[in-house]
Chain A
Amino acid sequence: MKHLTEYRDAEQARRLVAEIGRVVTRPWAIMEVCGGQTHSIIRNGIDQLLPPEVEMIHGPGCPVCVTPLEVIDRALAIAADPRVIFCSFGDMLRVPGSRENLFAVKGRGGDVRVVYSPLDAVKLARQHPDREVVFLAIGFETTAPANAMAVKLAKREGLRNFSMLVSHVLVPPAIHAIMRSPGNRVNAFLAAGHVCSVMGTWQYPPLADRFRVPIVITGFEPLDLLDGIRRTVLQLEQGRHEVENAYARVVSERGNEAAQAVIAEVFTPQDRAWRGIGVIPGSGWSLSADYRDFDAEERFAVSGITTTESPLCRSGEVLKGTLKPNQCPAFGKECTPRRPLGATMVSGEGACAAYYNAGRFLEGSGTA
C-alpha cells in the first residue's frame, strides 16, 4: 500500500535506530500519547530496538481504555433494552463494565452490532424506523468529525430513532494533566499524528512552552515512530522544547478546518472523567444544545447508574506512566486479556494488553 509500506523498511529502521543511539547520552522517558502508536511499537518490537537510555511510556490515548466505567455501564443498560439496536466499534465489545461487557449483553439477546463507521449506524436507523438505533460515540479528536457528521446527518434527515452515547476525549488537556501529576516522569511527548491531522499543530506550542517539554507530532509506521523518537531525543539532548511535525505528509499546522467547524457545531467542551485517572477539566466533548435531542443518555434515562471498579486495578498509574503494566501485582495473574480487571487490559492498544500479548510478562524471567 502506497504511503504505508515505504515506512516499514528494515534497513532504514536500522539506520534510524543507529542514529538515535548516536545522539543519546543519558536516560529519557518519552510518552507516546496515542494507543495506536503503542500498538505499533509493541507489534513491531520497536521498543526493543531502542538504546537502553530511551524508555517509552505508554500514554492514555486509547479511547477504549479511558472511557469511564459509568459510560460503559450506561451502554450496557441501553444495549439490553429490547427496543434498541446498539452499534459500537469492535474495540468496545470486550471492555468490562462493573459486572459484564457488551458481549455478555449480546449473549443474553441484546441486539449489539459492530460497525466500521458511525455512518453505518445512521444507515441502520434509516432501515429500521421502528427500532431505536444507539451509537456508542467514543474516541479522540480523530473520531470526532465522523461521529459529529453522523448526528448532523441524522438531524438533517429527521431520524428521530437515532441517538448517540457520547464519550469524547481530547489530547491537549491530557498532556496538561500528565505534566502536572505528582511523580510525573515524562520528559517528552510523541503527539498523535491522526489527532493532529484533524486539529492541526497549533494547540501544542503553549504546552511545550509552559512545561518546557518537546512535543513531536508522529505517525504510526515503524519509520515514522523511530523518526519521531529520534527528533525527540535530539531536542532533549540539545535542551530544546519545541513542537516539531514529523508527520508532515498528513498533518498541517491548521488541521482540517472543515472538520473543526462541524465539531464546533455539534459538540461542546466539558469536563470529562477518564477511567483510572479521574476528571480532567475541559478534556471532553458532549453534544451541544442544538443536538441534545440525540443524546442517548437523556433519551434512555440511564444517568443514575452506580459503578464499582476492581480494587486491584492500577490502570490509572499505568495510563499516567508511573507504573509499567508488568509492574502491577495483578498483571498476568488476576488480570489477563481473558479476564481483564481494567480497560487497559482489554483493547489491543491498551498498554497492559499490549504488554501481555507481546509476552512482556516474561521480562526479567529470562525466558524471552
Chain B
Amino acid sequence: MCLAVPGQVESIHEENGTRMGRVNFGGVVKEICLAYLPDILVGDYTIVHVGFAISKIDEASAQATLRTFAELGLLEEGLEELRAGDEVDGALADPT
C-alpha cells in the first residue's frame, strides 16, 4: 500500500501555521509537510508518503540492519564451507 520514500530535510519553515520543509530525495527536492515530526531537524532523514513526513529514519537501526545482513551472509557461508569441508573429508574426495 503505500509508496514512501526516504529523503533528507534541507530546511524547515512555517506555512499558514503548519510546519513544512524542503526535503531532498537523491537530488530531487519537494515541499513536504513536517507537522507530524515536530522534533525532526535539518539533516535528518525521513520517510515521506503523499507529501507528508511520517517517520524519522533511525541511523543506528539502519546501520545495525545492514551489519546483520553482511554478517549473516558471511557467517552462513563460513559454516557452509566448513560443512562442505566435513562432507569432503567424510567422502572419498580430493582433499583440497
Beta-carbon contact of A1 and B6 below 8 Å: yes
Q: Which of A3, A4, A246 has the most CB of B within 10 A?
A: A3
Interface residue A251 (Cβ < 8 Å from any Cβ of B): yes
Contact flags A128-156 to B (C-beta < 8 A → 1, else 0): 00000000000110110110010001001
Asked if A142 contacts B51 (CB within 8 A), the reply is no
Query: Which one, B2, B6, B26, contacts A142 given CB within 8 A?
Result: B2
Q: Is B72 an interface residue (CB 8 A)?
A: yes
Q: Is A16 an interface residue (CB 8 A)?
A: yes
- Chain B residues with Cβ below 8 Å from A157 are 16
**Is A248 a contact partner of B52 (Cβ separation < 8 A)?**
no
CA distance in complex: A149, B51 (Å): 11
User: CA of A249 to CA of B64 in the docked complex: distance in angstroms?
Assistant: 9
> What is the minimal beta-carbon distance from A10 to any residue of chain B, in angstroms?
12
| Contact (A143, B2) CB under 8 Å given A15-B76, A116-B50 | yes
Q: Which of the segments A92-100, A104-112, A190-198 contacts the partner chain?
A: A190-198
Question: A34 contacts B51, CB within 8 Å?
Answer: no
Interface residues of A in 241-260 (CB under 8 A from B): 246, 248-252, 256, 258-259
Which residue on B lies nearest to A120, using beta carbons? Answer: B51
Contact status of A35 and B1, CB under 8 A, knowing A116-B51, A197-B55, A227-B69? yes
B residues less than 8 Å from A332 (CB atoms): none
A19 engages B76 (CB within 8 Å): yes
Q: Tell me if A2 and B36 are in contact (CB < 8 A).
A: no
Q: Interface size of A by Cβ–Cβ distance < 8 Å?
A: 53
Cβ contact within 8 Å between A143 and B62:
no
The residue that B73 contacts in the complex, of A19, A89, A249, with Cβ under 8 A, is A19
Q: In the complex, are the beta carbons of B65 and A194 less than 8 A apart? A: no
Which chain B residues lie closer than 8 Å to A156 at the CB level?
17
Question: Which A residues lie within 8 Å of B37 (CB)?
Answer: 256, 258
Task: Give the distance to chain B from A352, nearest Cβ to Cβ, in Å.
Answer: 16
The distance in angstroms between the C-alpha atoms of A116 and B65, with both chains bound, is 31
What 8 additional pairs, Cβ within 8 angstroms, besides A1-B5, A12-B69, A258-B38?
A6-B62, A18-B80, A89-B50, A140-B2, A145-B36, A192-B2, A197-B54, A248-B64
Give 28 A-B contacts (CB < 8 Å), ordered by A residue.
A1-B25, A4-B5, A4-B26, A6-B62, A12-B70, A15-B76, A19-B72, A61-B1, A89-B50, A116-B51, A139-B50, A140-B1, A142-B4, A143-B49, A146-B52, A149-B35, A195-B2, A197-B4, A197-B54, A223-B69, A227-B68, A248-B58, A249-B57, A249-B59, A249-B62, A250-B55, A258-B36, A259-B36
Listed from nearest, the 10 A-B pairs whose CB atoms lie closest are A117-B51, A15-B73, A1-B26, A142-B2, A3-B6, A197-B55, A249-B62, A248-B61, A194-B2, A249-B61
Residues in B lying within 8 Å of A, measured CB to CB: 1-6, 8, 16-18, 25-26, 33, 35-38, 45, 47, 49-52, 54-55, 57-59, 61-62, 64-66, 68-70, 72-74, 76-77, 80
